[in-house]
Amino acid sequence: MKIEKQLSPPEELKQKPTDVLKVPFGTVFTDHMFSMQYSSGTWHDAKIHRYAPLSLSPAALCLHYGQGIFEGMKAYRRGERILLFRPAKNFERLNQSAHRMVMPNIDVDFALDVLMELLRVEHSWVPDVAGSSLYIRPTMIGTQAKLGVKPSDEYLFYIILSPVGPYFKEGFSPVHIYLSTEHVRAVRGGVGVAKTMGNYAASLFAGTKASEVGYSQVLWLDALERKYLEEVGTMNIFVKFDDELVTPPLSGTILAGITRDSVLTLTKDMGLKVNERQVSIDEVIEGIASGKVVEMFGCGTAAIIAPVGSLWYNDKPYTVSNGKTGKLTQHIFDELTGIQSGEREDRYGWIVEVD
Ligand code: PLP
Ligand code: COI
C-alpha cells in the first residue's frame, strides 16, 4: 500500500521543547502522525499527515466497549542516526493483542516501513540529550458507530510521537511501589495478556490508593490467591534473592514485556542464575526481613529500568536495598540504555536503524 504524505508547511511547524527532560511524560506531540483505516475487510488510506484531533462518531464502539489496543516503543538519537529497539516485537505483540480483542492484524513489515517513513519526516524531533528519546505510540481502535455489543467492522490505526525524558519524575532513582491487596488487575482467561486500554482503566483506582500513601506505582498480586507477584502498572517486575534473579512467568495475566525478555537475555548471558517462576509476596516480605531480597526492579519501555526502593504492603512500608539502586539493577540499566542509544555493542541484533 502506498503511503500518502500531506505535510505541514515549515511556517506551521511547532516549537520543540527547550528542555525535554523537564516535559512531563507524553504531553508534547510532534507535527505529524500516521493513520490508516480499515473497512470491508482491508486496510486503506495510509497517510502521514498533520497531528490533529480525530473525528469519531459518539457511538464509535471503542468509546463504549473499549475495543482498543496500543503499543509503546522508542526511537533514540546517536548523532545523525536514529535507532529503534526491537521494533518488530511491538508490532507482533500488537497483532497478538488484536487477536485477543477480535481486531484485524496489521502487516508487520508494512508497519515497520510506515514507522521508518514517519521517523524520516519527524527526524528533527528525536531529542539528543542523554535520558531522552522519541516515544512512539501505535494505537488501534474500533470506530464503527453501533450501540450493540459486537466487534467493530471498522478500525483506525494510527501512530503518534512524543519527545520524552524519564517516565517517573524521580528519574532513574528508586521508586515506591504499593502492593494492592484489595483490587486485582487481570484474571486468567481475561485480557491481562493484551495491551488493551481497559487494563489501564482497571488499574486507576488502586493507583489512587497508592498515591494516598505517597507511593507512585501499584504492584499487582494474582487474582485467584492474592499471593503471587504479577507485574507493576506499566512494568514487569524482577526480584533478586541472594544469587537468584526471578521474574513471574508469562501465565496469561501479565504483559509479555519486550524489556523483560531483553533483561532475561542479558542476565542469562552474564551467567546469573535466572528463573521465571512464581514469587509469593510472603517470600518477598520474609526475604526483605532476612536480607535474602537484595534487589528489586521494574522494567518497561517507558520506565526502562526502575529500581524499587520500598514496598507498601498491608499498611506498612518495607525498605528494599536500603532504599538505594542495587548493583545489578544499575548494571542492567547501563547495559540496556547503552545498547538502545548505540553507545554499547548490539550483540543481539536488537537495533534497527532508520536509514
Ligand atoms: N506491563 C505493562 C502492564 C505495561 O504497560 C508495560 C509497558 O509496555 C510492560 C509491562 C513492559 O512491557 P515492554 O517492556 O514491552 O514495554
Ligand atoms: C510503555 O512502557 O510503553 C507503556 O506502554 C507504559 C505506558 C502505559 C506509559
CA 235 to ligand 2: nearest atom: 2
> 267 C-alpha vs ligand 2 centroid, how far in Å?
23
Q: Note whether 279 and 248 are within 8 A (CB).
A: yes
Average model confidence (pLDDT) for the chain?
96
| pLDDT given for residue 224 in this prediction | 94
For 329, the 3-state DSSP assignment is helix
Q: For ligand 2, which residues put their CB under 6 angstroms from it? A: 72, 234, 300-302
* Interval between CA 57 and ligand 1 midpoint (Å): 30
Per-residue model confidence (pLDDT) at position 172: 87
Quote the pLDDT of residue 169: 80
- Banded pLDDT at 11 (limits 50, 70, 90): very high
Nearest alpha carbon, ligand 2 atom 5: 72
Give the ligand at the shortest distance from the Cα of 93. 1
Q: Please name which of 293, 134, 101, 308 lies closest in space to residue 217, comparing C-alpha atoms.
A: 308
Our mutation pick for probing the ligand 2 site, out of 168, 234, 299, counting the most ligand atoms within 8 A of Cβ, is 234
Average pLDDT over residues 129-156: 97
Alpha carbon distances (Å) from 317 to 151, 229, 323: 44, 17, 11
Amino acid at 121: V
Question: Ligand 2 pocket check: which of 70, 217, 301 to mutate, most ligand atoms within 8 Å of Cβ?
Answer: 301
Q: What is the pLDDT of residues 48-102, one digit of tens each?
A: 999 999 999 999 999 999 999 999 999 999 999 999 999 999 999 999 999 999 9
Whole-model pTM: value is 0.97
Closest-lying ligand to the alpha carbon of 298? 1
Average pLDDT value for residue range 250-258: 96
Total number of residues shown for the chain: 355
- Give the pLDDT score at 13: 98
Q: Which ligand is nearest to the CA of 73?
A: 2
Instruction: Assess whether pLDDT exceeds 90 at residue 171.
Output: no
Angle between helices 327-340 and 258-269 (to 10 degrees): 110
d(CA 287, CA 285): 5
Residue whose C-alpha is closest to residue 161's, from 112, 206, 191, 118:
118
All three cell numbers of 238, joined, read 524482577
Which is the closest atom of ligand 1 to the Cα of 236?
A: 10
Q: What is the pLDDT of residues 273-327, one digit of tens each?
A: 999 999 999 999 999 999 999 999 999 999 999 999 999 999 999 999 999 999 9
56 φ/ψ angles, rounded to the nearest 5 degrees = -135, 145
Comparing C-alpha atoms, which of 77, 89, 94 is closest to residue 140? 94
Q: Which residue has the cell 487474582?
A: 223
Q: Which residues line ligand 1 (CB under 6 A)?
A: 72, 231, 234-236, 255, 257-260, 300-301
Instruction: Supply the pLDDT for residue 223.
Output: 96
Domains of the chain: 4-164 (3.30.470.10), 175-339 (3.20.10.10)
Q: What's residue 170's pLDDT? A: 78
Q: What is the pLDDT of residues 191-235, one digit of tens each?
A: 999 999 999 999 999 999 999 988 979 999 999 999 999 999 999
Q: Which of 259, 336, 337 to mutate to test the pocket of ligand 1 (most atoms within 8 A of CB)?
A: 259
Rounded alpha-carbon distances, angstroms, from residue 62 to 146, 153, 154: 10, 11, 10
At residue 46, does pLDDT exceed 80? yes
Which run of H or E residues covers position 36? strand 32-39
